[in-house]
Structures are given as C-alpha cells and as structure tokens.
Amino acid sequence: MNNNSNLLKGGMGVVLLILSAVILVVSLFVALTNLGSQGHASFNTSSTLPWGQPIATYLYFALASSGLGLLASLPLVFGFKQYYPVAKRCVFLAFVILISGMAVLALELGNVFRMLWAIPLNLQVQSAMFWMGVFYALDLLFLLWKFSKLDAGEWDSKTSKQVGIASFIGVLLASGNLALIFGMMSMRPFWFDGLLPIYFYFTGVTSGMAALVFFVYLAHGFSRDRMHPTLQSLLSGALPKMFAALIGGTLLFIAARAITGVYSNNPEIHLVWSDYLFASSLYHLSLWVGLLLPFLLMLNGNFRNQAGVQLLVSVLVFLGLFAERFYFVVGGQVVPLFKGTWYPDMIAYTPSLTEWALTFVGWSLALLLIVLGERFLNLSAMPDGVAESTSARPLAAG
C-alpha cells in the first residue's frame, strides 16, 4: 500500500490537526471553566432528568466504537476477507472513538477520580455500571492489543486470531451490557426491553459503518482513485450493500419500538413517542433525513456505489444516529417520575453551552486522534496476500 495516497499525511492533515486541536482546546476551556465556576449547575440536567446530552454523547461514541469493533471482526474473526482493507482502520477508530467517549463521560461525573478506586475496590457485581467499567476496560485493552498485532503485520498468527476473538467477545459484552444499563430499568418503561442489546448492536454497527466510510474517504481526499484497488473493490461491492442493510435494519428496529410505544396505553411509553419524539421536528428530521433518505439512496444500485452518495449517507447517518441516541437517553426521563401535579407537563430539556462544549470535546478529540493515527500509523495496511490479489475480482469469503 502506498502511504502517500493518504492525504492526511500531507498538508490537509496538518490543517485538520490544527482545526481539531483548536476546537478541542476551546471546547475544553469552555467546559472546564464552567464546571470549575458553577459545577454541574452549568448543565441543564436536574434531579428529575439527571442524564442529558453528555451521557448521550458517551453512548453514541461507545456504541460507534463497538460497531467498529464488530466490523473489524468480519475479516479478523469470521474470515470475510474482502473487509481486510478496512480492518486495521476499524480497530484504530474503535479505540480512539471509545477513548473520546470516555473522556466525555469522565467530565460528566460528579467525582471522576474517585471512580478509579471506588469501582474496583467495592466490587458491586450487581451493578451493570460496574460491568460497564470492566467490559469497556477489557474492550480497550483488547483493541489496543489487536491493533499492536496488526501493526506488527501479524494478521494470521495464532495469537492474533485469539486476541481478535477475545476482542469480539469483549465488544459484545461491553455494548450488550451498556444496553442493559437502560434495558433493565423496569421503572423506566421507555427503556425497559430485554432485547435492547440487539438494538444497540445493530445501531452501533450502523454508526460504526458511517464513521468508517467517512474516515476512509477523508483519508483519501474524498477520492476513490487514491485508494488501493482492493479497497475500491470493497467500497463498490460488499460494503455499500451491507451499509444499506444496516440502515434498513436500524429503521426496522425504530419502527418496531415506535409501533409498540404508540400502541401502548402506558403513558410513560406512549406519551414519549406521541408528545416528545414525534412532536419534535428535530426528531423527524433525524429520522427521515438522517436515516430514511440515506436508506432510499443506498437501495439504488447506481447511487449506492457512488463515492459522493456514500459520503453523504455516512454524514447523514452519523448525525441521524447521534440524534437517535440523544432522544433515546432523554426520552426515558421526560415523563416525570412520581412527582405528582407539581410537574404538570413533560420535563423540558435543552442542552446547555457546557453540555454542548462536552460534545465538541468528544468530537474534536476523536478527530484529533484519528488524524494523528492517519499521519503516524499505516491504517490502510492489509495482509500481503490480499493486497496483491487481483483488484477487480472481489475476494471470496472464508
């Protein structure tokens, strides 16, 4: 693979590096200044709605990371060799996106440093949040280990395979458990759903795919001509079809949740859909423009394979699923819980400047780390056999 084809190694990378660093410094400054002077009163969350946009941001990043981890397992665990050209980039993106999400979560907590000793020393194994710490720590470790193996060119060694399988299991446990943090809360009927892990896996892979497509194109200056033939082949073959299927599946999941929600007489589910989600023009925008439009575009065989369409779809899905996470987290809390007529209406919540700053901390940190990775690591690497194979012929699975 010719490293020079990666535009981020050149001037464009420097520009993006500076841009992301500036956004990171400014947003971090705003967040830390406000948190330092006002504490968490600088958030628009409250005792009646304790989890806001920073949690949604963390959820988005954590699930996008898990989705990327699952995509990496296609070639590395399940032998879908046509996905080798994106495997290393998937693992790297999964790692840095998870780091960025964790940074946002850390700034959301009341006492972040206390977490470092209080969680491991008290071993509250009944808490899904305890397991979130365990599984995501393992996830990070395995991603790093797997990346180091790939970076050393060990694609098919026994250890590499074992680490790949361990990482795959780690991703399933981490994101499935993250779903159960919400899904096991029977007192919050909008979230309470034993199949929520499946929903999180599916939507996580979709957001991971959106991130992957966007950053693959970014690395190659939004031009498919600069890509290795095997990567070109993937982007005009198996990958867009899978992307289309993932968006379609995500829409099906949302439709199933919406239909059961609207049908239910339980106001804690029904009202969330009718008076909060479907009453919000932003939610409609995220649903129809962020998910349905991309799906329709990707259904068409001609559109699907065009670089511009793929790029547009990746951005729309990226934003659409971010909104989806936001409305999921907030939607579970908008019906006042046992507050009587003191709270006669649904709880209104709009993120504060500090909360938006934290979201930008996450995005800019992720972008910074990604550009650094693109500049200093060869993320387009793939096994020699795959790189040398005939570019025009799609590689068979197995």
Report the chain's C-alpha Rg in angstroms: 21
Contact 60, 207 (CB under 8 A): yes
In the list 3, 124, 157, 260, the residue contacting other proteins (rule: CB under 8 A) is 124
Question: Does residue 10 bind other proteins (CB under 8 A)?
Answer: no
Closest to other proteins by CB, 72 or 140: 140
Eight-class DSSP state of 107? H
Contact 187, 177 (CB under 8 A): no
In the list 161, 188, 226, 375, the residue contacting other proteins (rule: CB under 8 A) is 188
CB atoms within 10 A of CB 93: 30
Question: Does residue 339 bind other proteins (CB under 8 A)?
Answer: yes
In the list 192, 336, 377, 391, the residue contacting other proteins (rule: CB under 8 A) is 336
Q: And the tokens for 33?
A: 């200044």
d(CA 221, CA 209): 18
Q: And the tokens for 126?
A: 């009944």
d(CA 91, CA 240): 19
Question: Does residue 12 bind other proteins (CB under 8 A)?
Answer: no
Of 234, 336, 331, give the one whose Cα is nearest residue 278.
331
Question: Does residue 110 bind other proteins (CB under 8 A)?
Answer: yes
Question: Does residue 153 bind other proteins (CB under 8 A)?
Answer: no
Question: Does residue 129 bind other proteins (CB under 8 A)?
Answer: yes
Contact 349, 43 (CB under 8 A): no
Point out which span in 5-13, 119-127, 288-296, 299-307 binds other proteins (CB under 8 A).
119-127
For other proteins, the binding residues in 262-281 under the rule CB under 8 A are 266-268, 271, 275
Of 272, 250, 245, 249, give the one whose Cα is nearest residue 260.
272
Closest to other proteins by CB, 123 or 397: 123
Distance in Å, CB of 187 to other proteins, minimum: 4
Distance in Å, CB of 56 to other proteins, minimum: 14
Q: And the tokens for 151?
A: 């970076």
Residues that bind other proteins (CB under 8 A): 39-41, 43-48, 50-51, 109-112, 114-115, 118-119, 122-124, 126-130, 132-133, 181, 185-188, 266-268, 271, 275, 332-333, 335-342, 344-346
